[in-house]
């Protein structure tokens, strides 16, 4: 509500009534002031005229036989009653003593006006609020007959004090009363005007303002009073019409909002359904992609391509636990050779924490000092964004970690976290199957004791090398290696020592062959080495180096063997020099090996024609060459 001097009625009073009252008071005050000044001037002039008249009476001739200035005394005595109430008249000696006065009791006394006699002029007059005082010297040439030296100095002083006439005072009082009356009348008019304005203007306006305030606060059902037909009533009626329109519009707005909310809810359900369908589609694609292959590298490549594209993740990596128990980055999107192969310990960085706790770790902003960067212990200063590390867990065993990163801060929603966790579960199951498949293949093609390819893998590899050599006209050499007196080692030290000797000999041979060559366990204590694109002469030199390496290896010392050391015998055969087919090539190498055995062991023998028909082979020392046949032990 308006308060103080802010209402319309008070503004009208301030702008109309108060200025009118002030103007009337100022006019009356000025008129009173001018009348007061005129009254004082008139009193002053009358006092001067009266003083001059009294002075003139002193020049009257005194009749014979009377006291000096007797006519003056008679004249003054005759007019005392007339002048007594309005005038004080004194005749003073030059010394200031009262010689005659309208108040006889003061005759002979010193008059207070004597202080003004120090240097009087021709005439002195002073007027105040209600009276005028005149001091006039008496004496001139006409007085020299009675007063010697009267023309040179005054013989006396006329002191006159004339009061303001009563009519003047009554006029001044009347003007003062008029001033007060104007003030009182103006005040009453202001009060009356204010009261009228309050009842006929301010109160209706307040009621209208109260209705407007409630409407402003949202109460569109309020209505203003509109009983009369004046301007305020018409304003209230217009306001009510406006509120009625607003009420209908508000009702329409409520209906519209309700319809919009329903539509928005349906749209949100539709969007959520579309998101779920997209998520299910992604999961189906991931499952199809994972189940379509058991080869781990191909599977990782498909995941690295599918997940970032479908989920719009610009930075993605797959980490698997390697043989050393460390998290190793296998694949990245986009491909980054610098990052691939990088390793982390369990508990190191965000990925390490995810693997150690077997729980997803989400960091909304890697730039925060409290976060540990998933790729480096020291993150770049400009690096920002959100990162999510989800562990690959299968039957409570951590297989690896999936890392998802976006450059925007806090850019992974709770729904995405749930989806990515589900994807990680599928990837974990697929990785486990691929690892099992890889292990099964490895066990199928690898000798479990020595870790080199077994006989099945050996002949597959040999078949490929023979076909390549026949196509391009190159050489393929094979070395048949047999440990000397292996049965004696088993009988003397036990089969565990024999197995250890097999592993050590295999390690010595494997460390000295090329990556393109194939070292495999042929059977029992025999190994075969396939040398690609190596001539017979070079193959013999390679065999001799391997034989010497076994003899010189300190870890192969054995007291049970002749000479106190494990030795090997090697047979060498080359295609197409010694044979033109795979089976014949193996027979030739086997015959050369037996020739080394017959020659005293611990030697290398290259195949020569006729070795395969030696009498010892006819007595049961020959070796079967069928890949499916079981190997026979040699003495």
Residues 523-570: pLDDT tens digits?
888 999 999 999 999 999 999 999 999 999 888 887 677 878 889 999
What average pLDDT score do residues 239-260 get?
Answer: 83
* Distance separating alpha carbons of residues 403 and 350, to the nearest angstrom: 9
| 467 phi/psi in degrees, rounded to 5 | -65, -40
Q: Please give the C-alpha separations between residue 629 and each of 450, 525, 527, in angstroms, as whole numbers.
A: 20, 15, 15
**∠64-70-72 over CA atoms, to 5°?**
135
576 cis-preceded (ω within 30 degrees of 0): yes
Whether residue 253 lies in the annotated active site: no
Where residue 574 falls among pLDDT bands split at 50, 70, 90? very high
- pLDDT > 90 fraction of the chain, expressed in percent and rounded: 17
Residue 284 is encoded by which pair of tokens? 């189906």
Q: β-strand 568-575 against 604-606: which pairing, if any?
A: parallel
- What is the four-CA torsion angle of 243, 246, 250, 253, rounded to 10 degrees? 180
Q: Is the predicted pLDDT of residue 355 greater than 70, yes or no?
A: yes
**In 474-581, which ranges are continuous DSSP H helix?**
486-493, 495-510, 536-552
Give the confidence band of 631 by pLDDT, cuts at 50, 70, 90: very low
pLDDT tens-digit map of 298-325: 888 888 888 888 778 889 999 999 988 8
Give which of 139, 102, 106, 103 is closest to 120, Cα–Cα.
Answer: 139
Return the bridge partners of 316, or none: 333, 404
pLDDT of residue 539: 92
By residue count, the chain amounts to 635
From the DSSP assignment, how many helices (H) and strands (E) are in the chain?
Answer: 16, 16
Q: Is the pLDDT of residue 80 over 60?
A: no
Q: SS3 of 399, please?
A: strand
Region of 4 please: left (phi>0), alpha (psi -120 to 50) or beta. left
HSE of 240 in the Cβ direction (CA atoms, 13 Å)?
13
Please, what are the domains in the chain? 8-170 (3.30.450.20), 314-421 (3.30.450.40), 449-621 (3.30.70.270)
d(CA 219, CA 79): 91
pLDDT at res. 620:
38
Q: Which residues contact 257 (CB under 8 A, 6 or more apart)?
A: none
Chain segment 591-606, per-residue pLDDT in tens: 999 999 998 899 999 9
According to the model, what pLDDT value does residue 490 have?
A: 85
Q: How far apart are CA 395 and CA 226, in angstroms?
A: 83
Residue 103 CB partners (closer than 8 Å, separation 6+): 88
Using alpha carbons, select from 204, 247, 126, 451 the residue that is nearest to residue 112: 126
Q: What angle do CA 555, 560, 561 make, to 5 degrees?
A: 75
- Strands (DSSP E) contained in 117-185 are 124-127, 131-138, 156-163
What whole-number distance in Å separates Cα of residue 337 and Cα of residue 295? 21
Q: Please state, as a whole number, how many other Cβ atoms lie within 10 Å of the Cβ of residue 314.
A: 13
What is the separation of C-alpha 524 from the centre of its chain, rounded to a whole number of angstroms?
A: 74
Residues 6 or more apart in contact with residue 438 via CB below 8 angstroms: 296
Q: What torsion, rounded to 10 degrees, do the Cα atoms 259, 265, 271, 276 define?
A: -150
* Catalytic residue selected from 133, 164, 279, 525: 525
End-to-end Cα separation, the chain, in angstroms: 122
Query: CA-to-CA distance for 205 and 236, rounded, in angstroms?
Result: 9
**pLDDT at res. 634:** 35
Mean pLDDT taken over the chain: 77
């Amino acid at each position: 509500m308006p308060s103080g001097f802010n209402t319309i009625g008070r503004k009208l009073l301030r702008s109309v009534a108060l200025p009118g009252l002030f103007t009337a008071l100022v006019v009356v005050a000025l008129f009173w002031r001018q009348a007061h000044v005129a009254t004082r001037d008139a009193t002053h002039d009358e006092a001067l005229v009266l003083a001059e008249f009294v002075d003139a009476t002193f020049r009257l001739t005194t009749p014979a036989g009377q006291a000096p200035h007797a006519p003056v005394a008679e004249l003054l005595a005759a007019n005392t009653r007339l002048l007594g109430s309005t005038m004080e008249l004194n005749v003073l000696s030059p010394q200031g003593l009262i010689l005659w006065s309208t108040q006889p009791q003061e005759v002979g006394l010193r008059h207070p006006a004597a202080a003004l006699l120090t240097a009087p002029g021709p005439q002195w007059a002073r007027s105040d609020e209600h009276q005028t005082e005149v001091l006039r010297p008496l004496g001139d040439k006409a007085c020299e007959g009675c007063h010697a030296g009267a023309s040179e100095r005054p013989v006396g002083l006329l002191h006159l004090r004339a009061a303001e006439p009563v009519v003047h005072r009554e006029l001044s009082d009347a003007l003062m009363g008029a001033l007060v009356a104007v003030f009182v009348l103006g005040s009453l008019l202001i009060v009356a005007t204010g009261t009228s304005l309050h009842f006929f203007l301010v109160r209706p306006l307040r009621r209208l303002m109260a209705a407007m305030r409630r409407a402003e606060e949202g109460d569109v059902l309020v209505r203003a009073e509109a009983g009369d037909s004046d301007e305020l009533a018409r304003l209230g009626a217009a306001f009510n019409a406006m509120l009625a329109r607003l009420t209908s519009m508000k009702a329409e707005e409520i209906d519209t909002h309700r319809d919009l909310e329903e539509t928005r809810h349906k749209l949100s359900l539709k969007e959520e359904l579309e998101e779920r369908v997209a998520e299910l589609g992604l999961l189906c694609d991931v499952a199809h992609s994972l189940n379509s292959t058991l080869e781990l590298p191909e599977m990782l490549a498909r995941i690295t391509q599918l997940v970032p594209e479908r989920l719009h993740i610009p930075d993605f990596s797959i980490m698997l636990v390697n043989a050393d128990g460390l998290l190793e980055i296998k694949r990245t999107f986009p491909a980054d050779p610098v990052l691939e192969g990088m390793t982390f310990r369990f508990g190191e960085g965000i990925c390490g924490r995810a693997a150690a706790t077997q729980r997803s770790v989400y960091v909304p902003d890697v730039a925060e000092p409290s976060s540990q960067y998933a790729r480096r212990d020291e993150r770049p200063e400009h690096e920002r964004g959100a990162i999510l590390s989800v562990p690959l867990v299968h039957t409570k065993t951590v297989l690896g970690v999936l890392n998802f990163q976006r450059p925007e801060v806090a850019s992974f929603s709770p729904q995405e976290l749930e989806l990515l966790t589900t994807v990680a579960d599928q990837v974990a199951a697929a990785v486990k199957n691929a690892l099992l498949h890889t292990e099964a293949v490895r066990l199928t093609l690898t000798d479990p004791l020595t870790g080199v390819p077994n006989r099945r893998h050996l002949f597959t590899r040999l078949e490929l090398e023979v076909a390549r050599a026949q196509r391009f006209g190159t050489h393929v050499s094979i070395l048949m290696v047999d440990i000397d007196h292996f049965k004696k080692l088993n009988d003397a030290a036990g089969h565990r020592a024999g197995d250890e000797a097999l592993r050590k000999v295999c390690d010595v041979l494997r460390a000295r062959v090329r990556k393109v060559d194939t070292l495999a366990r042929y059977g029992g204590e025999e190994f075969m080495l396939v040398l690609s694109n190596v001539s017979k002469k070079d193959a013999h030199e390679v065999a001799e180096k391997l034989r010497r390496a076994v003899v010189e290896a300190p870890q192969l010392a054995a007291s049970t063997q002749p000479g106190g050391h494990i030795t090997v015998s090697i047979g060498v055969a080359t295609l197409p020099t010694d044979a033109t087919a795979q089976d014949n090539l193996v027979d030739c190498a086997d015959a050369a090996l037996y020739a080394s055995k017959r020659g005293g062991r611990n030697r290398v023998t290259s195949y020569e024609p006729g070795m395969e028909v030696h009498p010892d082979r006819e007595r049961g020392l020959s070796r079967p060459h069928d890949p499916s046949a079981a190997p026979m032990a040699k003495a």
